[in-house]
Structure 1
Amino acid sequence: MANTKIAIVDDQIEVRKALGELLDAYGYTSTLFESGDAFLEAAAKEEFACVISDVRMPGMDGVQLARELAGRQPAVPAILISGQADVPMAIAALKAGAEDFIEKPVDDIKLVAAINRGLSRVASLNASSRHAMESETRFDSLTAREKEVFDLVSEGQTSQVIAKKLGISSRTVESYRAQIMDKLQIDNIAALVRLAIRLGRITP
């Protein structure tokens, strides 16, 4: 948690300061912004682990900010807060990709729980994304024959069928499959197929 940078975006200075003091007490490092645009300008130069934003603000509102963050890589969870909450607003916030929607006055336990939940989810998501990118990079290390076998396996061809098509033994096909899995650092056919789709080798 130490040095976990949280951005607080609210056009009311009293709210910004109060939230900043609250999060500092829990061991987070908070940075205060008066608008979504000011935050995005800063975010272009430094990384933030999570964003807490008011919904109703001049200029870019919290829902627009959450939508902007939802499309970024690496992902950054956004928690929206509002003193004038209603069901349609909450639904709009969640549809925009917000991690949670909390009414003011903000309950510190709910807020910290939402932050921790968002950080945990995003850490898992970012790890999966990094692993996927690494697998795509490793694909280039395959030989021409291994890529050929990769394509046939991802199409659902059995070892016997692949062996017949390539004029090699089934045992050799199995050996190629093991080498491919090892080089790509994946351990099941489902992961291999997903990689093939991402690479455009097969059509989903």
Structure 2
Amino acid sequence: MVPLANAYPSTRKRRAPVVLDPVVYVVDDDISVRESLEAMLGFAGWRFLAFSSAQAFLDHARDGAPACLVLDINLPDLNGLELQRQLLGETQVVPIIFITGYGDIPSTVQAMKAGAMEFLTKPFDADALLDAIASAIDASRQALSARQAVGKLQAAVETLTGREREVMAMVVAGSMNKQIAMELGISEITVKAHRGKVMRKMRARTLVELVEMAASLRSCG
């Protein structure tokens, strides 16, 4: 006899993950530039938000979607380079495309060294800007995906016991079971048991995968 709980398929639908459309942020104190960029971005099909100052941008809550920032260098409060420095300390990656009315080489060098995707001088070519935006959004999407993957790894590590973490650290460092057993003062059988639990909890199919996972966790601090 089929148990009642399994007799009928569940009608409950799984909630699909929310996928947010990419967004292009624009920060420029010149209203004519903002309006021109808004028209261009709207025509190209990008979701966008425009701000007249760096502080207005910082005060706006971002939704976690893949994003890029089209940023003027010369702004009335915080200038573009100062805003860039503030954003470097954030966990959400927002690639920056600088635009300026002046061909300032030192500022260009400083911006690019700090990770700017592109530096365009006004009046800029529309296709060049749209290409830069597409590349920046792709970079943001990849960074978000990598951060989510690391988040899952960190959650998996939290399920490990203290001893399992010790074993994992020694395994990824290249230690053999016998060496681990001697170092920790436990039997090889116990080491194998801990090692198996580590592999299952981390969902690592091979030692190479486990080593890669550990490397990803180290790279994120």
- Do these two structures clear the TM 0.5 threshold for a shared fold by scoring above it? yes
1:192 matched residue in structure 2: 214
SS in 1 for 2:76: coil
* Change over 3 Å in CA distance of 1:177–1:110 after alignment to 2: farther
Is 2:117 the counterpart of 1:99? Answer: yes
Give 3-state SS (helix, strand or coil) of 1:30's partner: strand
Q: Secondary structure at the residue paired with 1:188?
A: helix
Range moving further from structure 2, 132-141 or 17-26: 132-141
Q: Which one-letter code corresponds to 2:129 in the other structure?
A: L
Question: Partner letter of residue 192 of structure 1?
Answer: A
Query: How far does residue 197 in structure 1 lie from its aligned partner after superposition?
Result: 8.0
Give the alignment partner of residue 188 of structure 2, picking from 166, 169, 186. Answer: 169
Counterpart amino acid of residue 70 in structure 2: I
Query: Structure 1 residues 8, 194: CA separation in 2 closer, same or farther (over 3 Å shift)?
Result: closer
CA contact (8 A) 2:22 2:47 kept: yes
CA distance in 2: counterparts of 1:144 and 1:72, whole angstroms? 30
The offset of 1:36, in angstroms, is: 0.8
Residue aligned with 2:49, SS:
strand
CA radius of gyration, larger in: 2
Are residues 1:87 and 2:105 paired?
yes
Measured after TM superposition, the shift of residue 46 of structure 1 is: 4.8
Over 3 Å counting, the alpha-carbon distance change for 1:148 and 1:34 in structure 2 is closer
- Matched with 1:202 is none
For residues 15-26 of structure 1, the aligned pairs below 5 Å read: 15-26=33-44
Q: Equivalent residue for 1:111?
A: 129
CA distance in structure 2 between the aligned counterparts of 1:30 and 1:195, rounded to whole angstroms? 33
Cα-Cα RMSD: 2.6
Unaligned runs of 5+ in 1: 200-204
Partner Cα separation in structure 2 for residue 25 and residue 129 of structure 1:
31
Measure, in 2, the Cα distance between the counterparts of 1:197 and 1:104: 38
Contact 1:70 1:77 in 2 (8 A): no
Amino acid corresponding to residue 195 of structure 1 in structure 2: L
2:57 match: 39
Q: Distance in 2 between matches of 1:158 and 1:137?
A: 26
**C-alpha separation in 1, matches of 2:151 and 2:62:** 23
Q: Runs of 4 or more off by more than 4 Å in structure 1? A: 45-48, 196-199
* Structure 2 spans left out of the alignment, 5+ residues: 1-19
The aligned length equals 196
Q: Does the 8 A contact of 1:81 with 1:102 survive in 2?
A: yes
